[in-house]
Amino acid sequence: MSTQIPKQTEESTETDAEAEPASKGDERRAEKRRRAAERREQRQAEEAEKAAADESTVELKVFRYDPQVEGKQEPRFDTFHVPFTKGMTVLDALMYARDTYDSSLTFRHSCRQAVCGSDAMFVNGGQKLACKTQISDLDEPVRVEPLPHAEVTKDLVVDMEHFYDQMEAVEPYFQTNEYPDGELEEQRQDRENREKIKMSTRCIWCGACMSSCNIAAGDNEYLGPAAINKAYRFAMDEREGEEMKQKRLEIIEQEHGVWRCQTQFSCTEVCPKDIPLTEHIQELKREAVKNNLKFW
Amino acid sequence: MHEHDVVVVGAGGAGLRAAIAAQEAGADVAMVSKLHPVRSHTGAAEGGINAALRDADSWEDHAYDTMKGSDYLGDAPAVEALCQESPEEVIRLEHWGMPFSREDDGRVSQRPFGGLSFPRTTYAGAETGHQMLHTMYEQVVKRGITVYDEWHVMDLAVTDEDDPAERTCHGVVAYDIQSGEISGFRAKDGVILATGGMGQVFDHTTNAVANTGDGVAMAYRAGVPMEDMEFIQFHPTTLPSTGVLISEGVRGEGGILYNEDGERFMFEHGYANNDGELASRDVVSRAELTEVNEGRGIEDEYVHLDMRHLGEERILDRLENILHLAEDFEGADGLTEPMPVKPGQHYAMGGIETNEFGETVIDGLYAAGECACASVHGANRLGGNALPELIVFGKRAGRHAAGEEMGEAEVTTGRSSDWEPADYEFGVEVGETDGSDPAAADGGAVATDAESVVGGAVDRAQERVDELLSRKGRNHAEIRSAVQETMTANVNVFREEGRLEETLEDLREAREAYKDVAVSDPSRTFNTDLIHTIETRNILDLAEALTMGALAREEFRGAHWRKEHQERKDEEWLKHTLISWNDGEPELWYKPVVLEGENKTYEPKSRSY
C-alpha cells in the first residue's frame, strides 16, 4: 500500500459538545483539549501543505517485506513524501515517514549519533549509516533498502546473527599472561601503540563492510573485514605480549581468514567510522608472512 | 519458560558488569535486552571515568567533591562506595584491555572535569563509553554468558502481598522481537534491572531512542518506590538541532563558552567566578539559558563553545570524536569555528530506590546504573561519575544477587522508621485511569509459588499484546510526542508552579488518549510499532512522577530550580522524594538523606564554583 500525503481530516474534534463539564478543572481541561486539537489540526495542515509543495519534499522509495503479513510477502517498494528540513538525515526521514504515514515501517535505530551501529542500510546503492547520511547529499528519489548479502527479516531489518558469529570467531577479547604485580597497577602502553590500534577500536559492528564485500558474499565462512579488524586490534596491542600475538596470527591465517581478501577496498570505502580495514588486513598478511619465515 | 540463577535486564555498562560479577560469584546468568549489547547507550558516553588513582589524590577528596556536587542529597555510604571502588574497577577495565588514553610514561591519562578538585577523569579520547561497553561485552563473550538480545522485557513477575516490602520477584516476562514469542524467565536468585536512562520523556535529549526508562516504570508498577525523580540533569553542551552530546571533555581541556556579544559569560556575568566553564553542569546550563533569555543568545537559541585555541594536535589527540559529531550532526568545523551548543536533557539522577548493594525493597529485585538511585548523585551528577557508577554498582548488585555475603546496608529501602508522609495536594488527578491498559498495572500475581507467578505474568503479557494487536485505535507516536513537548516546555531547566501544574494536566490528557492506543502493524515479526507502544506507557508513568516530584519540592537544589523558591532549604528539604505507585494511586513520601560517612559527616555548605 503506497503511502500518500495524508488528507487533512475535516471532522472537528469530538470534545466540542460532550457532557457538561462538572467542575472548573474539567472546563479547563476541555478547553485545553480543544486548543490541543486545534494545534494538532493546524500542524497536520501545515505538514500536508509542506509535503505537497514539491521543492521542500523529499521522495523516498523504501523496500518493504514481511514474511507474515498479507500483501507484504512479496517484496515491494513504497513511496513516501517527507517534508525536507535543513540537516535532515535518512534516519530522520524514515522516522518521519513511520510516525506520520505508516507505523509498520520497520528499521533498527537507537542512538542517532553513529555509535550504536544499528542503522546500516543500502541507500542509493551504497552501504550507509542512515543517521549520518544527509538527505541533501543524495539524488532523489532516495532509494532505501536493507543491507545486501544478508537475510532480510522485515523491511530494512536484516538478520545479524552471521555477522555476530564471525565477530565472535576470532576470540574477540583481551588475553595476556603478563599482568603487573600490584592489583592497582595498570599495564603500561606506549602512546604510539595506543595510536596504532585506535582506529581499529572504533568499530561499531554495523555490518556495512561485510555487506559490501564480494568475497564474504561468495564465501560464507570468510571471517570478513570487521572480524579481521577485531583480531588486528588485539594482535597489534603490545599489552597482550608476543606469545598471544602468535596465537592471533594463527587464527587469522586459517583457510577463511586474511588470505581470502582480494584488496578491493570496498569495506574501507563504506566504513562509517573511517577505519582503514583493507590496510589492517594487509598488515596482518605481512605479519603472518614474517612470522612464518621466522619459524623456517 | 527459561530458568537461570540471575537474570540481568539490559546489557549496557551496568548490566554487563553485573552479569560478569554474578557469574564470577558462581551463578548461572542470563542477560535479556531489547538491543544487542553493543547497541546500548553506554556507548555514547564520551568524557570519562572518575577514579582517584594517584598518590596526590584520594577517594576522600572524590567523595567530598561528589557530595558537594550532589548539593548534599547524595547518601554518603553509597557515595563513598563509589569513590573507594572506582580505582580498582578502572584498573580492572585496563586489565581487560580497554584502550585508555595514555601519558608519555605509558600510564592511564587523567583530565580535569567540572566540579572536581583534582584531574581524576580517566578517558579514552572522547569515546570512553564506546570503549568501555565493547571491552565489557568482550568479557561477556569470553565467559560464555547467555545473552537474549532483542528480547523486550515487558514486566516483572512479582508476588502480590499488600505491603511491597513483603513481595518477592521471581523473574521477568519478555517478548522476542524477532519472532513475537512471549516467554517467562524464572530467576532463582535475583533479577537485576540495568535498563539505563529515561531521556525519551523529553524531546531534546542526548539519550537514545531506546532510553524509555522501562526498568524504572516496571519496578514502580510492581511496588518499588521511585526516588528523587525531579532531579534531571540538563547537559550544557548539546548540539541544538539533534541533542547530540558534546563532551564536557572539551571544557576540561580548556574550551570556552561565549555569548552573542563575544563575552566569556561564565566569568563576565559572574555565574562562576572561580571555575568558569568548569563549574558544575547545572550551574553552566542555567547560565547559558539565562544568557539566551536575556537576549544574548545566538539566534535566540544557543551559545558558542570554542576550542580552536587548543590547537589541532591536541584536539585530534584527545577530542577527535567531537570534530566528527559537530561536522556530521551540526555542520560545524570545530577546528575553524566555534560550535553551537545549548542545554539538553542528559541524565536522570533519580530512579529505582536501592541501597548501596543495589537491592530494592522487593526481595530478589535489584537495580544498578542510571535506572537506579542509590543515591550517589543526589540533586546533581558530576561529569565523569556516571561510568564509575555502572561498574561499581553493577558489580555490587551482581555479587549480591549471586548470594555473596556483603554485610549490612546503611542506606534503607522502603518505609523504615524515619519516613515521612507528604502533605502536598496535586490539583490534578494522577495515576492509573480507569480501563487503561489493565494488564500493565502492578505486580498483581495472586499465586505465590515461583512458577505460577512467572506463568501468570506471561499470561497477562500475552493478553495485553493480543489486545493491542487486535483492536483499532490511536497510534502511540502522537501521544509520545505530546508528552515530550510538554515536558520540554515546562519541566526543563527553569520550573514554575503554574506550568508544572499545566503539565500534569497535559499528562492526564495523554493518559486518557493512551486508553485508545492500538498497534496497526499486525505482524509478529519485528513489530517495532508494538514495542514503541509499550514503551510509551512507561514514558507516561515516569513523566508524571517526575512532574509530581518537581511540584512538591519547593526549594532550589542542584538541578532542580524553582521560580517561587529561590534557595536551598536545608531545614526542611535534606530528604529524598519518594513516589509509590500504590496500585495506581501514586503516593508521595520522604526519607532523610544520609550524610554520615565512614569517618566523617558531610556538613552542607553553600555550593559555589
Query: Any idea what the Cα angle at residue A41 is, between residues A32 and B508, rounded to 5°?
Result: 30
Cα B241 → chain centroid: 22
Collect all residues of chain A within an 8 Å Cβ-Cβ radius of residue B433: none
Tell me A89's DSSP state. B
pTM of the model: 0.93
- C-alpha grid cell, residue B40: 546500548
Peptide bond into A148 cis (omega under 30): no
For residue A267, count other CB atoms closer than 10 A to its CB: 28
Average pLDDT taken over every residue of chain B: 95
The residues that bridge with B596 in the sheet, in sequence order, are B601
**Residue from B88, B95, B301, B430 whose CB has the most chain A CBs within 10 Å, to mutate:** B95
Q: Which residue has the higher pLDDT, B211 or A53?
A: B211
pLDDT band of B401, cuts 50, 70, 90: very high
Strands A142-145, B29-33: pairing is unpaired
DSSP characters for B431-462?
Answer: SPPTTS-GGGSS--B---SHHHHHHHHHHHHH
Q: Which of B422, B419, B406 is nearest to B77 (CA)?
A: B406
- C-alpha grid cell, residue B369: 546504573
Burial class of A184 by CB neighbour count within 10 A (0 to 12, 13 to 18, 19+): exposed
The answer to whether position A24 is within a domain reads: no
Peptide bond into A200 cis (omega under 30): no
Query: Which parts of B79-224 are beta strand (E)?
Result: 110-111, 121-122, 146-149, 151-158, 169-176, 182-193
Same domain as A225, residue A143: no
In the block, which residue shows the cell 621466522? A294
The answer to whether position A3 is within a domain reads: no
Strands B561-562, B494-495: pairing is parallel
Cα B532 → chain centroid: 19
pLDDT at residue A16, rounded to an integer: 40
Collect all residues of chain B within an 8 Å Cβ-Cβ radius of residue A234: 97
Binary contact (B477, A194; C-beta < 8 A): no
Pick the catalytic residue from B186, B281, B480, B568. Answer: B281
Same domain as A210, residue A149: no
> Is the CB of residue B411 less than 8 Å from the CB of residue B81?
no
Could you read off the pLDDT of A82-102 as tens digits, one per residue? 999 988 999 999 999 999 999
Same domain as A67, residue A153: yes
**Could you tell me the strand order of the sheet in which B372-373 lies?**
B372-373, B351-353, B226-227, B575-580, B587-592, B420-421
The answer to whether position A15 is within a domain reads: no
Closest chain B CA to residue A108: B528
Amino acid at B235: H
pLDDT at residue A181, rounded to an integer: 86
For residue B304, count other CB atoms closer than 10 A to its CB: 18
Same domain as A169, residue A132: no
- Three-class secondary structure of residue B485 per DSSP: helix
B107 is catalytic: no
Amino acid at B396: R
pLDDT at residue B348, rounded to an integer: 98
Binary contact (A174, B508; C-beta < 8 A): no
Binary contact (A179, B95; C-beta < 8 A): yes
Closest chain A CA to residue B52: A184
pLDDT at residue A149, rounded to an integer: 96
In sequence order, which residues have a C-beta less than 8 Å from that of residue B407 and are 6 or more positions away?
Answer: none
Same domain as A223, residue A124: no
Taken in order B475, A144, B527, A168, the sign of the CA dihedral is negative
> Is the CB of residue B135 less than 8 Å from the CB of residue B143?
no
CATH (domain of A73): 3.10.20.30
Same domain as A165, residue A151: no
Q: Which of B375, B324, B108 is nearest to A239 (CA)?
A: B108
Q: How far A237 CA lies from chain B's nearest CA (Å)?
A: 9
Same domain as A262, residue A198: yes
Amino acid at B153: V
Closest chain B CA to residue A172: B138
**What total number of domains does chain A contain?**
2
Taken in order A6, A10, A16, A17, the sign of the CA dihedral is negative
- Which of B132-146, B223-237, B311-325, B378-392 has the lowest average pLDDT? B311-325
Q: Which of B285, B212, B208 is nearest to B244 (CA)?
A: B208
Host domain of residue A286? 161-178+191-293
- Three-class secondary structure of residue B22 per DSSP: helix
Same domain as A239, residue A135: no
For residue B429, count other CB atoms closer than 10 A to its CB: 14
Q: Tabulate helix, strand, coil % of chain B (nearest 5).
A: 40, 20, 40
Strands A76-83, A152-154: pairing is unpaired
Question: Cα separations (Å) of B128 from B45, B247, B358?
Answer: 6, 10, 24
In the block, which residue shows the cell 541524565? B347
pLDDT band of B433, cuts 50, 70, 90: confident
Please check the confidence at residue B128 and state whether its pLDDT lies above 70. Answer: yes
pLDDT band of B560, cuts 50, 70, 90: very high
Q: Does A99 touch chain B (CB under 8 A)?
A: yes
Collect all residues of chain B within an 8 Å Cβ-Cβ radius of residue A239: 97
- C-alpha grid cell, residue B19: 552479569
The residues that bridge with B557 in the sheet, in sequence order, are B560
Collect all residues of chain A within an 8 Å Cβ-Cβ radius of residue B88: 183-184
Question: Cα separations (Å) of A90 from A76, A84, B82, B124, B607?
Answer: 19, 11, 41, 30, 45
Quote the ipTM score: 0.94
Same domain as A105, residue A82: yes
Question: Cα separations (Å) of B112 from B45, B120, B181?
Answer: 16, 6, 49
Same domain as A276, residue A173: yes
Tell me B196's DSSP state. -
Q: Which of B198, B284, B233, B218 is nearest to B73 (CA)?
A: B233
Binary contact (A104, B520; C-beta < 8 A): yes
Q: Does B571 touch chain A (CB under 8 A)?
A: no
The answer to whether position A10 is within a domain reads: no
pLDDT at residue A12, rounded to an integer: 39
The answer to whether position A137 is within a domain reads: yes
In sequence order, which residues have a C-beta less than 8 Å from that of residue B499 and are 6 or more positions away?
Answer: B489, B490
The residues that bridge with A243 in the sheet, in sequence order, are none
In the block, which residue shows the cell 510477502? A73
In sequence order, which residues have a C-beta less than 8 Å from that of residue A218 and are 6 or more positions away?
Answer: none
The answer to whether position A20 is within a domain reads: no
Could you read off the pLDDT of B322-371 as tens digits, one per residue? 999 999 999 899 999 999 999 999 999 999 999 999 999 999 999 999 99
Q: Rounded to an integer, what distance in angstroms lies between the CA atom of residue B602 and that of residue B79?
A: 11
Same domain as A130, residue A201: no
Could you read off the pLDDT of B266-277 as tens digits, one per residue? 999 999 999 999
Could you read off the pLDDT of A30-47 as tens digits, one per residue? 666 566 666 656 665 666
- C-alpha grid cell, residue B455: 506463568
CATH (domain of A172): 1.10.1060.10
In the block, which residue shows the cell 524504572? B216
The answer to whether position A239 is within a domain reads: yes
Same domain as A216, residue A140: no
Q: Which residues of chain A have pLDDT under 70?
A: 1-55, 295-296
pLDDT band of B537, cuts 50, 70, 90: very high
pLDDT at residue B608, rounded to an integer: 83
In sequence order, which residues have a C-beta less than 8 Å from that of residue A289 and are 6 or more positions away?
Answer: none
The answer to whether position A92 is within a domain reads: yes
